[in-house]
Chain A
């Protein structure tokens, strides 16, 4: 025991350790403050928090769980990108290979289950925020940031669903995107779209309506796959990451985790 303690102290007092973590073991209040302030990641948190807010039974940990699952998705998603080419020739066979060949191949599993879990976690987080009335002033704006994050989470999951390019994927996206055809005024089968005319020529048709813009063609095809891939792996994660930064910042600036006034 004494040896272990000695070892620990040796490590914590070494120059290497000290160069990384400025404070040693945070065993005094001063060091606890410094530990949080001195770390980029920890300083997402304030130095001190409401006792009621720390309780799992208050936040259900669901905001943090959503964030953690987002990180899991990013890591596993990047690993998948090493194996996966978003073209009609390769997409499906790459996933097959991944399934059959990759050693310790649970990345795809983790990515897929993580995606489902993240959607559920974000819903439960929203549910908690509603039930504690935490959207009320001064947190109205952060609730709105949250709603956009919810939409982005759904879009991430939706665009990812197409990527394996199997029957499940293309038909789910076919069903999901066929709605755009019915957008009022902008889809070729939507109400009032027939009224958008230049002389006798209908301006909204299957070759230029809202659905065409979404999937890059008249039906799900190579263009859709590439489009969804770029959206899924670059555009939406960046947007979501950016909004999460704002979300977390605002949790702090709105007075920390909510509690009775």
Chain B
């Protein structure tokens, strides 16, 4: 038991769980949605990645855990293939998930966090997200298999037929409302709303957390300064969401579930929604304790946990560690590497437009292409910065404290 708990504690660390989740995401797309096989080039590449993790585990022990978990999941998913979307398999996965959660609740440290009144809805959200992701992908998979053999999506068989709103729709709605009312009343009777001591501006709790739906942003503060994590990126999330219908010109997949007809759109959206947004909220809620330090789900929230601060800036890394000189005085020279790196990153879209992405560029037109490409690059800057932090303890790529401009 303690071994399993330790295993999970290690796996939950941001660097490990994030990598694991990202790879599971890719595995599901490959094996369960696109029908990839282990014996193909892709399958071999995925296995190679796992072997690489295991080998790296010799130097960095947690990677051994990551490699084991990754390979187990890989073989399970590859075996299931399209059957992952069978109702029976889905049901089993839910029972397993529920049981795992129930067992975990027996652990006092886990219980303390998961049963906090304000965290109960987030536990529910995890299950709801899992359930609805599975439902949506199942329907997409079924439609895709139909379309692949020249059939039509399930929705098409019914969409020309019209039903009377009364009674067919209003009764469904009534049922929904009654169920929801019951759920709300039971929930309100069983679980009291939290109320702590009266506000006291002089004593701040540790950890001080924002409301749960903003914990993804608070978690981003670990990797970015507040002006990015708290202001620019949230604004761009909203702008990005609003831009979706204008960037995506693919006419297919309108009004029915499908994956193959919209691989890239769904891939990018799901990655942002599930891995970058929901997962960070879950981390921020359940795995961040005093001083915003990381704690595994079965770990005690020790306020005195010491985490060494070893992060360095890119400028220091390059000038001091690699070139062996001191930091130049003038910031424009000091930050030359960071400026170069970011310039190269932001220079990608025009270069790609002339080269490999010419087809997209021509199809989408300049405005769509550039807005879409830059929004995507900004979204991906988060996982990139996270990985840089874990690999090199990198604090800032660009650190111009003269004008508070740190990236």
A-to-B contact residues, CB < 8 Å: 26, 29, 32-33, 35-36, 42, 45-58, 60-61, 64-65, 68-69, 72, 88, 92, 95-96, 99, 106, 108-114, 116-117, 119-120, 124, 126-128, 130-137, 139-140, 143-144, 147, 150-151, 154, 157-158, 161, 164-172, 174-176, 178-184, 187, 189-195, 219-221, 258-261
Give bound CA distance, A35 to B169, whole Å.
Answer: 13
Chain B 268-283, CB-CB to A under 8 Å as 1, else 0, gives 0100010000000000
Give bound CA distance, A55 to B241, whole Å.
Answer: 26
Query: Other CB < 8 Å A-B pairs besides A33-B164, A45-B169, A166-B196, 11 of them?
Result: A54-B172, A61-B173, A109-B193, A132-B257, A134-B255, A166-B197, A166-B198, A171-B209, A172-B211, A182-B225, A191-B405
The interface stretch among B11-19, B176-184, B334-342 is B176-184
Chain B 200-237, CB-CB to A under 8 Å as 1, else 0, gives 11011100111111100110000001110111100000
B163 adjacent to chain A (CB < 8 Å):
yes
Give bound CA distance, A144 to B239, whole Å.
Answer: 10
Given contact pairs A29-B164, A109-B188, A182-B231, A56 touches B262 in the complex (Cβ within 8 A): no
B255→A133 contact, CB < 8 A: yes
CB distance from A67 to the nearest CB of B (A): 10
Give bound CA distance, A258 to B187, whole Å.
Answer: 33
**Which residues on A sit within 8 Å (CB–CB) of B154?**
52
Give bound CA distance, A255 to B227, whole Å.
Answer: 42
B132→A54 contact, CB < 8 A: no
CB distance from A156 to the nearest CB of B (A): 11
Indicate which residue in B177, B217, B403 contacts A192 across the interface (CB closer than 8 Å).
Answer: B403
A179→B230 contact, CB < 8 A: yes
Give bound CA distance, A130 to B197, whole Å.
Answer: 42
Give bound CA distance, A179 to B197, whole Å.
Answer: 25
Given contact pairs A52-B155, A193-B404, A128 touches B132 in the complex (Cβ within 8 A): yes
Indicate which residue in B195, B229, B251, B256 contacts A179 across the interface (CB closer than 8 Å).
Answer: B229
**Which residues on B sit within 8 Å (CB–CB) of A193?**
404
Given contact pairs A136-B248, A260-B156, A50 touches B172 in the complex (Cβ within 8 A): no
Pairs A–B under 8 Å by Cβ, sample size 30: A32-B167, A33-B164, A36-B165, A50-B161, A51-B158, A52-B158, A61-B176, A116-B118, A116-B121, A117-B184, A120-B121, A120-B124, A127-B132, A133-B256, A133-B262, A136-B251, A136-B254, A137-B245, A140-B245, A143-B242, A157-B213, A165-B199, A166-B199, A168-B118, A180-B230, A191-B403, A191-B404, A194-B403, A259-B256, A260-B159
B231→A190 contact, CB < 8 A: yes
Give bound CA distance, A60 to B136, whole Å.
Answer: 10
Chain B 143-162, CB-CB to A under 8 Å as 1, else 0, gives 00000000011111111111
Give bound CA distance, A157 to B211, whole Å.
Answer: 9
Smallest Cβ-Cβ distance to A112: which chain B residue: B193
Given contact pairs A143-B245, A220-B201, A32 touches B166 in the complex (Cβ within 8 A): yes
**Which residues on B sit within 8 Å (CB–CB) of A60?**
132, 135
CB distance from B242 to the nearest CB of A (A): 5
CB distance from A51 to the nearest CB of B (A): 4
B244→A143 contact, CB < 8 A: yes
Give bound CA distance, A35 to B118, whole Å.
Answer: 42
Those 7 A-B pairs whose CB atoms lie nearest each other, nearest first: A179-B230, A259-B159, A182-B226, A140-B245, A109-B188, A116-B121, A182-B227
Smallest Cβ-Cβ distance to A167: which chain B residue: B196
CB distance from A30 to the nearest CB of B (A): 11
Give bound CA distance, A182 to B232, whole Å.
Answer: 10
CB distance from B236 to the nearest CB of A (A): 12
Give bound CA distance, A100 to B254, whole Å.
Answer: 53
Smallest Cβ-Cβ distance to B407: which chain A residue: A191
Smallest Cβ-Cβ distance to B154: which chain A residue: A52
A179→B200 contact, CB < 8 A: no
CB distance from B66 to the nearest CB of A (A): 28
B60 adjacent to chain A (CB < 8 Å):
no
Give bound CA distance, A56 to B174, whole Å.
Answer: 13
Smallest Cβ-Cβ distance to A109: which chain B residue: B188
B246 adjacent to chain A (CB < 8 Å):
yes
CB distance from A6 to the nearest CB of B (A): 23
Smallest Cβ-Cβ distance to B278: which chain A residue: A123
CB distance from B102 to the nearest CB of A (A): 21
User: Max chain A CB contacts within 10 Å: which of B172, B180, B193?
Assistant: B193
B185 adjacent to chain A (CB < 8 Å):
yes
A26→B166 contact, CB < 8 A: yes
Give bound CA distance, A135 to B245, whole Å.
Answer: 6
Smallest Cβ-Cβ distance to A142: which chain B residue: B245
Indicate which residue in A45, A106, A126, A187 contacts B165 across the interface (CB closer than 8 Å).
Answer: A45
Give bound CA distance, A54 to B227, whole Å.
Answer: 45
A219→B132 contact, CB < 8 A: no
Given contact pairs A61-B176, A132-B257, A191-B405, A183 touches B231 in the complex (Cβ within 8 A): yes
B238 adjacent to chain A (CB < 8 Å):
yes
A144→B242 contact, CB < 8 A: yes
Given contact pairs A51-B159, A113-B193, A260 touches B256 in the complex (Cβ within 8 A): yes
**Which residues on B sit within 8 Å (CB–CB) of A187?**
227, 231
Given contact pairs A68-B177, A171-B205, A175-B209, A48 touches B121 in the complex (Cβ within 8 A): no
Indicate which residue in A92, A110, A158 contacts B214 across the interface (CB closer than 8 Å).
Answer: A158
CB distance from B259 to the nearest CB of A (A): 9
Give bound CA distance, A52 to B256, whole Å.
Answer: 9
Indicate which residue in B157, B238, B244 contacts A135 across the interface (CB closer than 8 Å).
Answer: B244
Give bound CA distance, A72 to B178, whole Å.
Answer: 12
Given contact pairs A108-B193, A109-B193, A260 touches B211 in the complex (Cβ within 8 A): no
Given contact pairs A65-B176, A133-B253, A179-B231, A51 touches B167 in the complex (Cβ within 8 A): no
**Which residues on A sit within 8 Å (CB–CB) of B53?**
none
Give bound CA distance, A96 to B195, whole Å.
Answer: 8
**Which residues on B sit within 8 Å (CB–CB) of A110?**
184-185, 188
CB distance from B223 to the nearest CB of A (A): 14
Indicate which residue in A56, A113, A128, A221 contacts B172 across the interface (CB closer than 8 Å).
Answer: A56
Give bound CA distance, A61 to B132, whole Å.
Answer: 12
A50→B208 contact, CB < 8 A: no
Given contact pairs A49-B169, A52-B155, A182-B225, A158 touches B176 in the complex (Cβ within 8 A): no
